[in-house]
Amino acid sequence: MLTTVFNMSEGELREAAELVANAEYLIALTGAGVSKESNVPTFRGEDGLWRNYNVIELATPSAFTNNPELVWEWYTWRQGLIAECEPNPGHLTLAKWEETGLLKSLITQNVDGLHRRAGSSNVLEVHGNLWALKCISCDYHGRLSAPAEGLPECPECGSMLRPDVVWFGESLDSEVMARVYADLEKATVCLVIGTSGIVQPAAMFPILVKQRGGTLIEFNVETSRLSSNVDYHIRGPSGKTLPALDSLI
């Protein structure tokens, strides 16, 4: 069973489990793949489309400026979908490893909030959160508890609100990035879970750990742009491979 899920030798697998269990400073970088088994669509897989739009064309400031209704429709649709999703055993394993003091930091590209719902608290959401809102004019920030309706208006100044996420072409929050770089400095092992390694600057994070002599362990169902840099590539759905590795620790 293990070999079919892992597609690597038992010995390598035990080595990877040892590295995780004895890591001095273990961190993880996750992407859309970690939420796939929770039925959250990924960005570039076969489900990376919405009404035949290429979703990365929607996640941009110009798409919002040109057609805020369409972009809000896409986010409202995602909020509705994600409200029905549950964390999967992959999220829960990462939360357990934080709980036991093994996982020091979880850097996620995902905006679905499932890591926190699984119980993780040391989470750095580098691309923001689907439920967070901000005003396009003033510095109002808010949070939705249910999917948005129509075009949300700022309660402070009446302007339009937008999702408080990082769109393509926008820079990542400097405070969050300062915490990310501090973790990358300390990391001795970095788990790279469910990411295609395409989006920058997140795709650089594991490379920075590697350059400093850290070890990279990838969990993916196929090779990614980062696979050529990793020390271990554990092939399979992370909802299965993470708990299975946990059972070896």
- For Zn ion, the binding residue among 7, 61, 102, 140 (CB under 5 A) is 140
Chain-centre distance of CA 115, in angstroms? Answer: 8
Q: What tokens were used for 208? A: 């920075």
Using DSSP's 3-state secondary structure scheme, residue 139 falls into coil
Q: Name the minimum Å distance from CB 123 to ligand BV8.
A: 14
Q: Which tokens in the block code for residue 177?
A: 């990035």
What residues contact residue 66 under an 8 Å CB cut-off, 6+ apart?
A: none
> Considering beta carbons, is residue 140 or 168 the nearer one to Zn ion?
140
Q: Which of 91, 127, 141, 233 is catalytic?
A: 127
Q: Is 233 considered catalytic here?
A: no
Using CB under 5 A as the binding rule, whether residue 156 contacts Zn ion is answered as yes
CA 37 to chain centre: 13
Pairing of strands 103-108, 26-30: parallel
Which residue lies nearer to ligand BV8 by CB, 101 or 247? 247
User: How near is the Cβ of 24 to ligand BV8 at its closest, in Å?
Assistant: 26
8 Å CB contact between 195 and 29: yes
Q: Measuring CA to CA, which residue among 238, 236, 232, 235 is closest to residue 14?
A: 232
Q: From the CB of 207, what's the least distance to ligand BV8, in Å?
A: 12
* Residue 135 binds Zn ion (CB under 5 A): yes
Candidates 38-46, 121-129, 133-141, 193-201; binding stretch for Zn ion (CB under 5 A): 133-141
Q: Please choose which of ligand BV8, Zn ion, none residue 199 contacts, taking the beta carbon within 5 to 8 angstroms, the exact cut-off set by kind.
A: ligand BV8
Site size with Zn ion, rule: CB under 5 A: 8
Which is nearest to 161 in space by CA: 131, 141, 182, 184?
Answer: 141
Ranked by CB distance to ligand BV8, the top (closest) residue is: 33
Q: What are phi and psi of 205, to 5 degrees?
A: -55, -50
21 vs 204 by CB, closer to ligand BV8: 204
Task: Identify which of residues 23 and 126 has a Cβ nearer to ligand BV8 in the complex.
Answer: 126
Tell whether the torsion through CA atoms of 194, 199, 204 and 205 is positive or negative. Answer: negative
Footprint of ligand BV8 on this chain (CB under 6 A)? Answer: 31-33, 36-37, 42-45, 48, 56, 59, 109-111, 127, 165-171, 194-196, 198-201, 219-222, 224, 237-239
The β-bridge relationship of strands 215-220 and 189-193 is: parallel
Active site residues: 127
**Which residues in this chain contact Zn ion in the complex, by CB under 5 A?**
135, 137-138, 140, 154, 156-157, 159
